[in-house]
């Protein structure tokens, strides 16, 4: 999900917009600290890279940390999508309807 | 975007209770979001969550160190028993003939030397199997580890003393402890023995924590 958000935001993928997008899609408050922790884990795995922007006065002279997807990250997103699609196809429609009714 | 200021205490906590490397981007993000209309409650939630996450990651990174410190501190009552068994405390630790305040200072120094010897014996054992094998020890980290270990041990000892004053040890327990064998005191996990181990655990864990911080991966240190 985080990788998709980073791809979607493109050049503007830094802490605030990433957390805002996640909040929008998940419908609850997201901790910016946990977003950074997850992004740093992805960076350690080589799926994204980060770079510091210029400090701005609106942010109290603090720089933004921009995140970009790597080739390995893109490959990972495609692989995950393929696996999920294949898995979805194996689940018959009546089972999904049954679980929805139960809710 | 407006120019309102976030809660000062929360900002101070964010700046001082996390390491500085990746703090800049995070604190800038929080300030930017706050100035675009987020509430002070939201800001506090973000700061507390960020500190908790950073400390959680730090503790997880040092899990082997902390486990070793727990195991090593189990032996501390036996170490304290050794000077008694070899009558060292009456030779060096008996300060009754020295006038105040030197008697008090001597007692503290004697206690600190005994504690530091125990802690650094633990460091030597741990280093043999862990730090030295990975080539991570430097003179700077040893110096830092020694100083912070001593400070942490002193603070923990003061806490232990405060607890002991509020909840005095029953005299029967003290007599029982004195008559135990080395193995007996190691096997004793009563509340008083646990309290006795507490400063040794804190001292050992802090020393090893600072010795190890040099070899932390950048991502973890940045947290």
Q: What percentage of chain B exceeds 70 in pLDDT?
A: 78
Q: How confident is the model at residue B201 (pLDDT cuts 50, 70, 90)?
A: very high
Specify the pLDDT at position B41. 93
B35, A29: Cβ pair inside 8 Å? no
User: Over 50: is that where the pLDDT of B221 sits?
Assistant: no
Same domain flag for B28 and B85: no
Mean pLDDT over B159-187 rounds to 74
B43, pLDDT greater than 90: yes
Is B2 within a domain?
no
Task: Find the domain containing B24 and state its range.
Answer: 8-60
Region B147-175: what's the mean pLDDT? 82
Q: Which long-range contacts (CB under 8 A, 24 or more apart) does B180-188 make?
A: B180/B81, B182/B78, B182/B81, B182/B82, B182/B85, B183/B78, B185/B77, B185/B78, B185/B80, B185/B81, B186/B74, B186/B75, B186/B77, B186/B78, B188/B77
Look at residue B187 in the predicted model and tell me its pLDDT.
80
For residue A88, the enclosing domain spans 2-102
Structure tokens at A39: 């992004």
Nearest CB to A32; choose among B50, B51, B57: B50
pLDDT bucket at B217, cuts 50 / 70 / 90: very low
Q: B77 and B22, same structural domain?
A: no
**Cis-peptide, bond into residue B196, ω within 30° of zero:** no
Q: How far is A102 from chain B (nearest CA, A)?
A: 35
Asked, for residue B3, whether it belongs to a domain, the answer is no
Give the residue carrying structure tokens 């910016």: A32
Put simply, whether B10 touches A (Cβ < 8 Å) is: no
Q: What's the whole-model pTM score?
A: 0.69
pLDDT at res. A100: 64
Chain B residue whose CA is closest to A33: B50
| Domain match, B92 and B177 both | yes
* Residue A62: strand pairing partners: A56
Residue B157 maps to a domain: yes
Query: B42 and B77: one domain?
Result: no
Beta bridge mates, A50: A67
Report pLDDT for B220: 43
Comparing B217 with A83, the larger pLDDT belongs to A83
Task: Please tell me the distance from the alpha carbon of residue B92 to that of residue B45, in angstroms, as a whole number.
Answer: 53
The tokens 């003290």 sit on which residue?
A: B174
Q: Give the per-residue pLDDT at B214.
A: 57
Q: Are residues B69 and B179 in the same domain?
A: yes
Are B78 and B56 within one domain?
no
Q: How many domains does chain A have?
A: 1
* The token pair that represents B141 in the structure block: 């980290």
Domain CATH number, residue A35: 1.10.10.10
**Structure-token pair, residue A17:** 């917009």
Q: Report CA-CA distances (Å) from B85 to B16, B90, B171.
A: 46, 10, 20
Percent of chain B with pLDDT strictly greater than 90: 21
ipTM value = 0.81
Kindly tell me if the per-residue pLDDT of B185 is higher than 70: yes
What pLDDT was estimated at residue B95?
63
Q: Is a pLDDT exceeding 80 seen at residue B35? A: yes
B53 plus B107 within the same structural domain = no
**CB < 8 Å from A in window 14-73 of B:** 22, 24-33, 35, 42, 45-46, 49-54, 57
pLDDT per position as a tens digit, A84-99: 999 988 887 776 776 6
Residue with tokens 């946990």: A34
Instruction: Kindly state whether residues B74 and B55 are assigned to the same domain.
Output: no
Tokens 């501390």: give the residue.
Answer: B76
Judgement on whether residues B85 and B146 belong to the same structural domain of the protein: yes
CA angle B189, B191, B193 (to 5 degrees): 55
Nearest CA among B133, B135, B125, B134 for reference residue B208: B125
Nearest C-alpha of chain A: how many angstroms from B127?
Answer: 27
Domain tally for chain B? 2
Q: In whole angstroms, what is the distance from residue A51 CA to residue B19 CA? A: 18
Between CA A28 and CA B47 the distance in angstroms is 17
Distance CA B115, CA B104 (A): 17
In a domain, B100, yes or no: yes
Note whether B56 and B87 are same-domain residues.
Answer: no
- Nearest residue of chain B to residue A55 (CA atoms): B28
pLDDT at B68 over 80: yes
Same domain, B50 and B93: no
Sign of CA dihedral B161, B162, B165, B169: negative
Q: Which of B209, B204, B201 is nearest to B19 (CA)?
A: B209
B1 within domain boundaries: no
What are the E-state strand segments in B115-212?
Answer: none
Q: B92: pLDDT confidence band, cut at 50, 70 and 90?
A: low
For B108-155, the pLDDT digits (tens) are: 888 888 889 999 999 888 888 776 656 666 777 788 888 888 899 999
State pLDDT tens for residues A30-85.
899 999 999 999 999 999 999 888 888 878 888 889 999 999 999 999 999 999 99
**A67: closest CA among A22, A8, A23?**
A8
């Amino acid at each position: 999900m985080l990788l998709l958000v980073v791809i979607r935001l493109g050049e503007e993928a830094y802490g605030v917009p990433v957390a805002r997008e996640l909040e929008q899609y998940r419908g609850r408050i997201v901790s910016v600290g946990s977003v950074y922790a997850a992004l740093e884990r992805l960076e350690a795995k080589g799926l994204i890279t980060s770079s510091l922007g210029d400090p701005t006065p609106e942010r109290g002279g603090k720089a933004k940390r921009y995140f970009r997807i790597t080739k390995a990250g893109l490959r990972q997103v495609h692989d995950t999508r393929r696996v999920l699609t294949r898995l979805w196809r194996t689940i018959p429609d009546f089972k999904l309807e049954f679980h929805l009714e139960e809710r | 975007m407006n120019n309102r200021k976030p809660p000062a205490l929360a900002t101070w906590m964010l700046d001082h209770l996390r390491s500085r490397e990746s703090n800049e981007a995070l604190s800038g993000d929080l300030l930017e979001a706050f100035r675009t209309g987020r509430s002070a409650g939201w800001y506090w939630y973000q700061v507390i969550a960020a500190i908790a996450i950073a400390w959680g990651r730090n503790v997880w990174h040092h899990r082997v160190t902390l486990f070793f410190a727990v195991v090593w501190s189990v032996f501390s009552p036996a170490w304290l028993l050794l000077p008694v068994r070899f009558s060292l405390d009456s030779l060096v630790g008996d300060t009754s003939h020295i006038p105040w305040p030197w008697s008090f200072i001597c007692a503290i120094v004697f206690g600190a030397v005994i504690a530091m010897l125990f802690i650094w014996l633990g460091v030597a054992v741990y280093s043999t199997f862990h730090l030295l094998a990975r080539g991570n020890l430097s003179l700077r980290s040893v110096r830092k580890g020694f100083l912070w270990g001593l400070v942490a041990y002193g603070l923990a000892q003061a806490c232990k003393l405060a607890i002991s004053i509020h909840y005095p040890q029953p005299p029967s327990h003290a007599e029982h402890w004195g008559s135990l064998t080395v193995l007996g005191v190691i096997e004793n996990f009563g509340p008083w023995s646990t309290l006795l181990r507490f400063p040794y655990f804190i001292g050992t864990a802090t020393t090893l924590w600072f010795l190890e911080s040099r070899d932390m991966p950048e991502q973890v240190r940045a947290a």
